[in-house]
């Protein structure tokens, strides 16, 4: 027959076990919630194009390269990088120390965006995945941003030129056309990326919705 002292000890141990189990479950739940926030959103796929509208003078210049829909100022390629949602894009941004093709977490890419949308080029799944892997390869190649917006050189790339180069490597003919001409010079505007019946809308920012 167990002594009263032994029963008290057993009760205490049982209570402690329940508390530890509850703490463990709470910790795991919190970790899962933190992790889920960084995973690739369910509606998106690797290789999708994400467009954003930023703030400031440079963003206004980029938007005005488009001739019809001056909605967006920047674009990148969504990738699953190290099991987290990231965006590969070419940008010159002193505040972040960016100069050229970089990989940035999706949440940070959209942090200051006032508008955004996700489009998917009309590619098969193999080409779609290759688009993402090729983008990551570019990000590891130390390619600087092109301040001269020159399509004749691969040594430096501006944001839409980067998308155009990558899509041209994975699909023939290239689904993106350099269709914008200003002062006799050919450029790739933001709207050239998604307005040529070459891409379909996947998701867009909704008013009042958290980014």
Residue-by-residue pLDDT tens, the chain, 211 positions: 555 554 444 444 343 344 333 334 333 434 333 334 456 778 899 999 999 998 766 677 788 778 788 899 999 999 999 989 999 999 999 889 999 999 999 999 999 899 999 999 999 999 999 999 999 999 999 999 999 999 998 999 999 999 999 999 999 999 999 999 988 999 999 999 998 899 999 998 864 444 3
pTM of the model: 0.78
> Would you list the DSSP string of the chain?
---HHHHHHHHHHHHHHHHHHHHHHHHHHHHHHHHHTTSPPTT--TT-EEEEE--SHHHHHHHHT-SS----SEEEEEEEETTEEEEEEEEEEGGGTEEEEEEEEHHHHTTT-SEEEEEEES--HHHHHHHHHHHHHHHTTTPPB-TT--TT-SSSB-HHHHHHHHHHHHSSS-SS---EEETTEEE--HHHHHSSSSEEEEEE--TT---
The confidence score (pLDDT) of residue 134 equals 98
The confidence score (pLDDT) of residue 137 equals 97
- Give the start-to-end residue ranges of the domains of the chain: 1-36, 49-204
The span from the CA of 1 to the CA of 103, in Å, is: 67
The confidence score (pLDDT) of residue 89 equals 97
CATH fold group of domain 49-204:
endopeptidase fold (from Nostoc punctiforme) (3.90.1720)
């Amino acid at each position: 027959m167990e002594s009263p002292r032994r029963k008290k000890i057993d009760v205490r141990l049982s209570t402690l076990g329940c508390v530890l189990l509850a703490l463990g479950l709470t910790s795991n739940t919190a970790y899962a919630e933190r992790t889920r926030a960084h995973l690739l959103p369910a509606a998106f796929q690797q290789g999708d194009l994400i467009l954003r509208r930023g703030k400031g003078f440079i963003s206004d210049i980029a938007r005005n390269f488009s001739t019809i829909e001056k909605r967006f100022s920047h674009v990148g390629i969504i990738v699953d990088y190290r099991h987290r949602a990231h965006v590969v894009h070419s940008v010159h941004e002193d505040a972040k120390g960016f100069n050229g093709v970089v990989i940035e977490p999706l949440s940070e890419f959209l942090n200051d965006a006032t508008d955004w949308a996700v489009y998917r080029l009309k590619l098969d799944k193999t080409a779609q995945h290759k688009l993402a892997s090729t983008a990551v390869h570019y990000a590891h190649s130390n390619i600087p941003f092109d301040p001269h917006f020159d399509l004749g050189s691969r040594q430096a790339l501006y944001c839409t030129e980067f998308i155009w180069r990558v899509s041209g490597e994975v699909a023939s003919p290239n689904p993106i056309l350099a269709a914008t001409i200003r002062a006799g010079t050919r450029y790739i505007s933001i709207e050239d990326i998604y307005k040529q019946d070459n891409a379909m809308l996947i998701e867009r920012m909704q008013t009042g919705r958290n980014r």
